[in-house]
Amino acid sequence: MGLNLTQKIIKSHLISGNMVTGEEIGIKIDQTLTQDATGTMAYLQFEAMGIPTVKTELSVSYIDHNTLQTDYRNADDHIFLQTVAAKHGIYFSRPGNGICHQVHLERFGKPGKTLLGSDSHTPTNGGIGMLAIGAGGLDVAVAMAGQPFYLPMPKVVRVELKNSLKPWVSAKDVILHLLSILTVKGGVNKIIEYGGEGVATLSVPDRATITNMGAELGATTSIFPSDEQTRLFLKAQGREEDYLPLQADKDAKYDEIIEIDLGLLEPLAACPHSPDNVKKVKDLHIKVDQVAIGSCTNSSYTDMKRVAEILKGKTIHPNVSLVISCGSKQVLAMLARDGSLAELISSGARILESACGPCIGMGQAPKSGAISVRTFNRNFEGRCGTKDASVYLVSPEVAAATALTGQLTDPRTLGDYIPISLPAKYLIDDRMIIPPSGEVNDIEVIRGPNIKPVPLGKPLENDISLPVSIKVGDNITTDHIMPAGARILPLRSNIPAISEYVFHSLDPLFAQRAKELKQSVIIAGNNYGQGSSREHAALAPMYLGVKIVIAKSFARIHKANLVNFGILPLEFVNPNDYDLISEETTLIFTNLKQALNSKEVTAKIVETEKEIKLQATLSMRQIEIIKKGGLLAYSKSQVDLL
């Protein structure tokens, strides 16, 4: 039996385990990336392991999230990241060079390689044929130290693409359609592998849009074959030598197959407040206050060029604020040279720097009660910076049409389609990427006063009584647990300070209550921790004394992050037992260490004396990590064995 594309890459990188669905495997990581919102903590963790130089083929530190410098804190993080990169053999992408996923796709991504990134949208590089996986910063730090990345062997879902997209329908509509099928939890512990005749009609930037938003499915990653489109993209980037043809075998098997006829798709929008709340744009008649074009999902040269052509010679609606952020300096410079930037500015667009910006609530929050139409990947409530705003996710074509009309608009009403060709050669200028220095002994790592030591978890207690500190429902995101935004993101390297904002949007008194309880347990519904890879959503609760989280189910990255910081994730055997617990409940766990060895745990409700059955769907390695108090303590001993 032949191998699918996913299996081929995993097999060539397999260090431990077997490619059996659900079995834990360890794979070699070729490349890593970090961004500044997660990078400071990741490199503090790397330093704590005592490794002088990264052991990967390539590691890159990007500055793209915390670029709004309202005081010293973000700037201090930037110089820390630059000096720590120079000290430990890491490439450094300076502020203004662009968004990590876009720049990595342009300058570093290689077909057939593995990439681990401390950002949930790392799968963007699956568009170039990489096995690119998002993870917590500690997992990335451990990978930089030369250790394997561990994960359950995922199921592999083949998405069979047929025919080609019609005019004014784009790659964004493909992934929105798939989200409408699978929902935000339908991809958990799965890898989405694209194939079929329709693949050849999609460029690498198209594919990257689709793999980027595969993160919203909860998928481990998404991947496209490496084919002629891949070769042309790499050639245009001056990197044809990195090309490697890579396809699934004709007789490859899959756990599931989904067929999508590209020719039947229409312009779509994800309505508030979830990426899977998808409707046809033509059925939505909504006045709009703000349009934002960019983010790591739709900020490529072809995306921006098409927007410029749509807006050429026109003026945006007087009631709409249009903001545009290109994905990289390369994109911005090319638009400036071919005149497209002038067209965007003349239309009334406000040009932002090449960074994440509004996508993570870092500026450009809309007005109270606004309707904001964005080409981004997430529209969780409050993520834009305005609690009562409603965010719709759309393609660049829909966004540009909407900016002109002032209401959500199907771009097919604009008339003749405007074809945009990929450039035969991109503008290559890597001066904003600083390669690692060979002279590391004289490099001083500079730490500002906001950069605090990494808090460490404590070893698991065998018998423990835990009051409930909060009970939450389904699809709680990492934005709910650990908010982003211009006020909170600068605290990423200061866990005592940022922990004051845990669950702030749901319960502003949570942090105070958790500290008063000293130790506690969180109760949650399905898909707890969906969204971002931000490990602070586990690290800050650990700092506040959270020892256990009991949920109906977990999102993959957040569950791994809980383990990494010594918080035990348990799942209800009977989901109805969720209803037996309230925020006034105390749970008693006895012989916990022995119970974990069988992966079956019993908790007693003090108030009713009822017992509930729980399961630890963890590997024995993860259980040992929990017992030791977290991955950092566990890894220190493992590094000595390398």
Run means of pLDDT, 10 residues per run, the chain, 642 residues: 96 97 97 94 92 96 92 94 96 97 98 97 98 96 96 97 98 98 95 98 98 96 98 98 98 97 98 97 97 96 97 98 97 98 98 93 93 96 92 98 98 94 96 87 90 89 96 95 88 94 96 97 97 91 97 95 96 97 96 94 95 96 94 72 44
Distance from C-alpha of 204 to C-alpha of 221, rounded to nearest angstrom: 16
Radius of gyration (Cα) for the chain, nearest Å?
A: 24
| Options 73, 207, 534, 536, the catalytic residue | 534
The b/e string for 295-326 (b: 16+ C-beta within 10 A; e otherwise) is bbbbbbbbbbbbbbebbeeeebbeebbbbbbb
**pLDDT of 638:** 62
Contacts of 362-368 with CB under 8 Å at 24 or more apart are: 362/65, 362/66, 362/67, 362/68, 362/484, 362/485, 362/486, 362/489, 363/68, 363/486, 364/290, 364/292, 364/323, 365/389, 366/289, 366/290, 366/321, 367/289, 367/290
Contact by Cβ (8 Å): 282, 252? no
Q: Going by DSSP bridges, is the β-strand pair 114-117/131-134 parallel, antiparallel, or unpaired?
A: parallel
- The DSSP bridge pattern shows strands 31-35 and 371-374 to be unpaired
Both structure tokens of 316: 């945006």
- Residue 641: predicted pLDDT: 44
Residues 268, 177 contacting (CB under 8 angstroms):
yes
Which is the catalytic residue, given 59, 299, 532, 533? Answer: 532
Of 73, 306, 317, 378, which residue is the catalytic one?
378
Greatest CA separation found in the chain? Answer: 72
Q: How far is CA 194 from CA 17, 19, 128, 211, in A?
A: 25, 20, 12, 9
Which one of 119, 139, 289, 479 is the catalytic residue?
119
- Give the model's pLDDT for residue 53: 94
558 carries an active-site annotation: no
Q: What is the pLDDT of residue 642?
A: 43
Contact 398, 409 (CB under 8 A): yes
Q: Has 534 been annotated as catalytic?
A: yes
Question: Which position among 36, 64, 139, 577 bears the catalytic label?
Answer: 64
Count the neighbouring beta carbons within 10 Å of the beta carbon of residue 3. 17
Known catalytic membership, residue 119: yes
- Domains of the chain and any CATH numbers: 5-264 (3.30.499.10), 269-409 (3.30.499.10), 464-639 (3.20.19.10)
Q: What pLDDT shows up at residue 441?
A: 73
